[in-house]
């Protein structure tokens, strides 16, 4: 599968990326890939081990004469976001991805591509096997579960890594290098809500909100794209005058992906159906006008539900009204832009996953901020808001941000090499996303770190794609940086 990748350049990187495309690696299911990489390391004569959580490290001794050169850690995460279009079901636990090239870009048919962070992992493996690059001691650190919880980095053993410089290969644009990132936390809300049977005149209907672009909940949060949960809840709020009651709700699949679709089953008096349909038609036109240029394909549709009133219980009138009101008032999107770093989002929230089944309500949001105090405050607003309807809120998987260091020797070296290799000075950036650098830096404060990578668009959505030319540029700079550190030249 994906043999056409072997025809791309640079061949070693794409060969390893083919292995990643052919090996299922959703978050929490990286075991098969780890076994594959461990066998490869054995074949290459490279040492490998795992820390107490299961993160994988592959090591390569320094080139002759480079034993005293500072060690380099090549770092990426093994897992990928698993999103598929509703008309293109995919078994991410068993089936390979189906990739293709179009107009200089690599895509996957109907699914995420896994370029985030598969290209970084593939580049690290290609560096490890290269025989034409002088290098000091090399460590390739491959972490687990970055996309769902950052748990691999959060659980990384202290005192395990030896290197001085860490190259995080998980950024997504050419001509940019990242030296700081936001911290964040998951906000989880749960509640058991009262239910009762249907009234005689009530019928079941399913409302679907589809057609949104989606994207990365950090890197794309400022692009004014629609959030399926927010938009569907807004519609449910507008339908409140027809005394609808919720049966179930499913919106979003990952707390760090902008939700593209959301679905709700409602019970409503049959006499209200014509007016309800008219309201949804008007709302769809309103949404399309509001989201023109970013998400104008948004669609609201109404169809008979898969269940009948005789077979299901429904939330009470009061429970429906309180839940819809709380969700409608919940913070989402950009909360504040940074003053210190112009153009960068300081604080945001993604209303990522919302479900309601048999009266059990569940929400998982992802709060991010360059300021840890702002992360805590926004999370506390969820606690205060949903406490009003009797829900329980907890904050999980909190991780710190990565404080920028604009005068590091590693950054100075990278900027010089970028100019030499590509003829341009890279833009130095801070990203509103949870790079693992912040967590790793907290455990290894002596590390100097930067993050860079090739062009990736549509990460965390089935439109994910990477520009082939940028991968060659990324590889060229990475090789030069490893060799330059080994040369002992001043930064």
Residues 212 and 251: beta-carbon distance below 8 Å = no
SS3 253: coil
SS3 64: coil
Helices (H) and strands (E) in the chain, counts: 11, 25
Angle between the N-to-C axes of helices 31-44 and 11-22, in degrees from 0 to 180, rounded to the nearest 10: 140
- Bridge partners of 111, per DSSP, are 84
Integer Cα distance of 454 and 446 in angstroms: 27
Q: What is the dihedral sign for C-alpha 461, 462, 468, 469? A: negative
Question: Which of 289, 363, 375 lies closest to 323 in space, CA to CA?
Answer: 363
Integer Cα distance of 449 and 409 in angstroms: 10
SS3 201: coil
Question: Which of 259, 143, 137, 140 lies closest to 208 in space, CA to CA?
Answer: 259
Residues 111 and 14: beta-carbon distance below 8 Å = no
Strand order in the sheet with 72-77: 47-50, 56-60, 138-143, 72-77, 165-168, 448-451, 176-181, 427-431
Residues 6+ away with beta carbon under 8 Å from 419:
425
Residues 429 and 177: beta-carbon distance below 8 Å = yes
Catalytic one of 51, 116, 139, 146 = 146
Q: C-alpha distances in angstroms, 141 versus 51, 138, 160, 163?
A: 10, 10, 11, 11
Question: Which of 180, 184, 159, 162 lies closest to 171 in space, CA to CA?
Answer: 180
Q: What is the DSSP string of 100-134?
A: EEETTEEEESSB---HHHHHHHHHHHHHHH-SS--
Integer Cα distance of 230 and 332 in angstroms: 8
- Bridge partners of 264, per DSSP, are 207, 249
Q: What are phi and psi of 42, to 5 degrees?
A: -60, -45
Q: Enter the tokens of residue 393.
A: 């809120």
Integer Cα distance of 406 and 105 in angstroms: 32
Identify the residue whose tokens are 């309807």.
389
Q: Is 79 a catalytic residue?
A: yes
SS3 80: strand
Integer Cα distance of 399 and 379 in angstroms: 13
Catalytic one of 79, 346, 436, 484 = 79
Q: Which residues are the active-site residues?
A: 79, 146
């Amino acid at each position: 599968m994906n043999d056409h990748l072997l025809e791309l350049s640079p061949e070693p990187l794409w060969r390893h990326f083919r292995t990643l495309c052919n090996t299922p690696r959703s978050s929490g299911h990286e075991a098969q890939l780890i076994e594959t990489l461990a066998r490869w390391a054995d074949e290459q004569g490279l040492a490998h081990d795992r820390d107490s959580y299961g993160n994988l490290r592959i090591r390569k001794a320094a080139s002759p004469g480079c034993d005293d050169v500072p060690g380099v850690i090549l770092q990426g995460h093994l897992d990928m976001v698993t999103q598929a279009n509703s008309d293109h079901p995919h078994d991410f636990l068993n089936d390979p991805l189906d990739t293709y090239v179009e107009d200089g870009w690599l895509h996957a048919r109907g699914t995420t591509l896994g370029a985030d962070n598969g290209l970084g992992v593939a580049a690290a493996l290609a560096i490890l096997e290269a025989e034409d690059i002088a290098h000091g001691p090399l460590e390739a650190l491959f972490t687990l579960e970055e996309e769902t919880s950052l748990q691999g980095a959060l659980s990384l053993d202290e005192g395990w890594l030896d290197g001085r410089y860490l190259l995080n290969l998980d950024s997504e644009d050419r001509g940019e290098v990242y030296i700081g990132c936001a911290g964040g936390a998951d906000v989880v809300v749960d509640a058991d809500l009262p239910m009762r049977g249907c009234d005689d005149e009530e019928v079941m209907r399913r409302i679907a909100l589809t057609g949104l672009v989606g994207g990365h909940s950090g890197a794309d949060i400022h692009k004014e794209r629609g959030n399926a949960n927010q938009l569907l809840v807004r519609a449910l709020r507008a339908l409140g005058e027809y005394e609808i009651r919720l049966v179930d709700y499913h919106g979003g699949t990952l707390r760090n992906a902008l939700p593209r679709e959301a679905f709700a089953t409602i019970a409503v008096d049959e006499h209200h159906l014509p007016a309800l349909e008219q309201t949804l038609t008007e709302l769809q036109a309103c949404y399309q006008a509001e989201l023109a240029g970013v998400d104008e394909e948004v669609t609201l549709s109404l169809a008979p539900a898969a269940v009948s009133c005789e077979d299901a219980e429904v939330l009470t009138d009061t429970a429906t009204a309180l839940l819809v009101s709380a969700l409608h008032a919940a913070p989402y999107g950009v909360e504040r832009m940074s003053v210190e770093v112009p153009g960068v989002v300081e604080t945001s929230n993604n209303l990522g996953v919302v479900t309601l089944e048999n009266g059990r309500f569940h929400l998982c949001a992802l709060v991010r901020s360059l300021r840890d105090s702002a992360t805590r405050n926004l999370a506390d607003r969820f606690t205060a808001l949903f406490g009003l309807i009797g829900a329980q809120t907890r904050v999980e998987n909190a991780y710190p941000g990565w404080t920028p260091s604009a005068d590091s020797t590693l950054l100075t070296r990278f900027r010089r090499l970028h100019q030499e290799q590509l003829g341009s000075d890279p833009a130095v950036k801070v990203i509103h996303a949870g790079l693992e650098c912040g967590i790793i830096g907290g455990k290894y404060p002596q590390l100097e770190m930067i993050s860079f990578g090739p062009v990736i668009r549509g990460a965390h959505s089935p439109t994910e794609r990477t520009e082939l030319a940028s991968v060659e540029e990324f590889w060229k700079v990475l090789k030069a940086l490893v060799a330059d550190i080994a040369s002992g030249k001043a930064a």
